[in-house]
Amino acid sequence: MSEADTGTQGSPTGPEHVDAAETATVRRRHGPLRSLPATGLIGLLIVAAVVAVALVSLVWTPHDPLQAVPEQRLSGPTPQHPLGTDRYGRDVASILMAGAQVTLAVGCVAVAIAVLIGTPLGVLAGMRRGWTEELVMRGSDVVLAFPALLLAIMASAIMGASTWSAMAAIGLASVPGFARVARAGTLQVMSSDFVLAARVAAQPEARIARRHVLPNIVGLVVVQASVTFALAILAEAALSFLGLGTPPPEPSWGRMLQSAQDHLAVAPHLAVWPGLAIALAVLGFNLLGDGLRDVLDPRTRGRR
Amino acid sequence: MIRAVGGRALRFVLTLAATSVLVFAFMRVLPGDPAEVALGTGATERALEQTRAEFGLDRPLAVQYWDWISGIPLGDFGVSFVTGEDISPVVLDRLTVSLILVVSAMVLAVAVAVPLGSWAAVRHRRADGIAVSALSQVGVAVPNFLAGMLLVAAFALGLGWLPANSWMPPAYDPLQFLSHLILPVTALAAVQAAVMTRYVRTSVLEIMGQDWMRTARAKGLSRFQALVRHGLRNAALPVLTVTGIQLTTLVVGAVVIEQVFVIPGIGSELIEAVTTRDLLTVQSVVMLLAMITLTVNFVVDLLYLILDPRTAVRT
């Protein structure tokens, strides 16, 4: 459906930001879902499935994910345990379902932290320019020197391993991404005629930010959020794999992989299922992000 | 040009300084009392006093910071509060191991990604191009430690071709060294190659739509000839940036991969230090990794200036 969007791109001489505003209304008429490319739709379905599994696991799992049955440890697939059991004889399918909760919770909180800090900073930098911009950009350079995983390892060194420290660290490490995206979008919007008109009309800065800037960069932020969510899932999995993330007994995909390592020779299925779950969730958010970018980001629109 | 290089160098030094202050604040000020962290909450006040005096933790923070940071350019990271031993020899020794791992993985990833990504771009409408593109999308989603575990399950435990873990210094037995290197490097490189293939594909795809590429085709060059003669040089710029960014994610990826393969690298050192609450070692290793990240970014910035002199004017 993206051809429909490309058709609305207006006169080739017109500046790009005007197109952005135009498509915003066009999108509303068609609905964002209908113009999502097929791969984006697949991503959306995967994400919806992961969310559904996490929600279902809140009220129902085939077995108690924490209940150990020692005489059934490390069993392969049986009718009673379709995905087998782990080293304590716990049902892998149930742990897997419950593990989706932590994954999504970490992703949501981390992305929320990064959006809420990064976006205003980026908008501020793009609107004020000058030393404010310099400060924000150099600040994000410094934070960029610490990848999410490294920051999370530092946090667990001083505060001990916990889901909260993982969320905070991953969220903080993702702030520069949002600041940069928001700044780039803001710069573009600020050079548009409607912002010029608003400034000539002596509208206060906060109002310009709310009325003109934010609505026009929401797409960029949403795309960044989807991609960051995927990165957060990977970081949380790695952290739990290292034993520095979600502490036991709380089910977590990363820690399932960690314990699977000890039984790789006799029970490789223990690595396959959580591994598949992580890869699928990350794939889902990445595909969704790419699809949304095609629809929402004026810079890549019309490229294919 | 000289102004542009100078500006970037200044920015690099300032960022480095700010980063070091941040690391110091995070590891030394935030936990409250580093002596208590080292000895545990059950320690007596006398033991705490003694540790503080021994490691100079009772001095003003600014003095402690200067003491720590001024040693780093000389390769001196200080003395661990936990073991009481010099940190530097172990850290530098283990850094070498990690760098072997990371650099080999990077070379392998680039060697795979550039041809594969170009292929996917040139044939982006054909089945094989789409297959490469889909495969890379899936590869990006696989955590490197999972790739490592699967490789171990298949080639070490299943087929028995290669050792499952541990490390062999190259001086000890070059052949053994290589056989221990293959699986971890492949695990690191595979995921990295997937990420880079996507960037190379996008970059080449964009280049292929340019007017001068059409001119090259009109001269009678085939798609591949035009790409090799004119395209790749131009596609190299964004790919270079990504390579720089990826190098830093590789360093962090190595932290996890070292755990999978029980390799005594800087990552294992970091995790050990975290579990033994050895704050100064954590602080120094983190600073070292951040320094590597910033230096790589700086070098990429400079290379960018050489490859595309226009950027010198723009910023």
Q: Which of residues 126-145 of A touch B (CB under 8 A)?
A: 138, 141-142, 144-145
Q: What is the pLDDT of residues B261-303, one digit of tens each?
A: 888 889 888 988 888 888 888 888 989 888 888 888 888 888 8
| The 3-state secondary structure of chain A, one letter per residue | CHHHHHHCCCCCCCCHHHHHHHHHHHHHHHCCCCCCCHHHHHHHHHHHHHHHHHHHHHHCCCCCCCCCCHHHCCCCCCCCCCCCECCCCCEHHHHHHHHHHHHHHHHHHHHHHHHHHHHHHHHHHHHHCHHHHHHHHHHHHHHHCCCHHHHHHHHHHHHCCCHHHHHHHHHHHCHHHHHHHHHHHHHHHHCCHHHHHHHHCCCCHHHHHHHHHHHHHHHHHHHHHHHHHHHHHHHHHHHHHCCCCCCCCCCCHHHHHHHHHHHCCCCCHHHHHHHHHHHHHHHHHHHHHHHHHHHHCCCCCCCC
Q: Rounded CA gap, B131 and B128, in Å?
A: 5
Is A197 near chain B, with CB under 8 Å?
no
Q: Does the beta-carbon distance from A286 to B141 stay under 8 Å?
A: yes
Max CA distance (Å), chain A = 77
Assign residue B56 a region (left: φ > 0; alpha: ψ between -120 and 50; beta: otherwise). left
Cis peptide before A249 (omega within 30 of 0): yes
Give the closest-approach CA distance of A207 to chain B in angstroms. 30
pLDDT above 70 (res A15): no
A9-18, B202-211, B259-268, range with the lowest pLDDT: A9-18
Chain A: residue nearest B37 by CA?
A158
pLDDT of the residue at A302: 44
pLDDT above 70 (res B18): yes
Give the sign of the dihedral formed by CA A252, CA A258, CA A262, CA A266.
Answer: positive
pLDDT above 90 (res B210): no
Three-state secondary structure call for residue B86: strand
pTM for the full model? 0.85
Tokens of A244: 């520095």
What φ, ψ does residue A85 adopt, rounded to 5°? -130, 160
Residue A298: band (very low, low, confident or very high) from pLDDT cuts 50, 70, 90:
low
Query: Which residues on chain B are in Cβ contact (under 8 Å) with A229?
Result: none
Which residue type occupies B86? D
C-alpha distance from residue A254 to each of A260, A274, A275, B220, B280 (Å)? 10, 7, 8, 54, 28
pLDDT of the residue at A26: 44
Q: Does the beta-carbon distance from A275 to B271 stay under 8 Å?
A: no
Q: How many residues does chain B have?
A: 315
Question: What DSSP designation does B79 have?
Answer: B
Q: What angle do helix axes A163-173 and A92-128 make, rounded to 10 degrees? A: 40
Tokens of B119: 């292929």
Q: How many residues does chain A have?
A: 304
Q: What is the pLDDT of residues B84-125, one digit of tens each?
A: 778 888 888 889 889 989 999 999 999 998 888 888 888 888
A254-258, B40-44, B155-159, B298-302, range with the lowest pLDDT: B40-44
Are A88 and A68 within 8 A, CB to CB?
A: yes
Q: Does the beta-carbon distance from B146 to A264 stay under 8 Å?
A: no
pLDDT above 60 (res A13): no
Give the ipTM of the model, two decimals please. Answer: 0.84
Q: Rounded CA gap, B250 and B188, in Å?
A: 7
Q: Rounded CA gap, A224 and A12, in Å?
A: 27
Give the closest-approach CA distance of A183 to chain B in angstroms. 16
Q: What is the pLDDT of residues A98-114, one digit of tens each?
A: 889 999 999 999 999 99
A281-290, B99-108, B162-171, B292-301, range with the lowest pLDDT: B162-171
pLDDT of the residue at A225: 94
Q: What is the pLDDT of residues B120-151, one digit of tens each?
A: 888 888 888 888 888 888 888 898 889 888 88
Size of interface A-B (CB pairs under 8 A): 116
Number of neighbouring beta carbons within 10 Å of residue B111: 12
What φ, ψ does residue B288 adopt, rounded to 5°? -60, -45
Are A17 and A188 within 8 A, CB to CB?
A: yes
What are residue A85's DSSP bridge partners? Answer: A91
Number of neighbouring beta carbons within 10 Å of residue A2: 18
pLDDT of the residue at B81: 75
HSE on the CB side for A70, CA within 13 Å?
0
Q: What is the pLDDT of residues A35-64, one digit of tens each?
A: 788 888 999 999 999 999 999 888 877 777
Average pLDDT of the segment spanning B205-227: 82
pLDDT above 50 (res A88): yes
Q: Chain B: which residues have CB within 8 Å of chain A?
A: 11, 14-15, 18-19, 22, 26-27, 30-31, 37, 137-138, 140-143, 145-146, 149-150, 152-153, 157, 206, 248-249, 252, 255-256, 259-260, 270-271, 273-274, 277, 279, 282, 286, 289-290, 293-294, 297
Q: Which of residues 227-266 of A touch B (CB under 8 A)?
A: 230, 234, 237-238, 241-242, 244, 257, 260-261, 264-265
Is A38 near chain B, with CB under 8 Å?
no
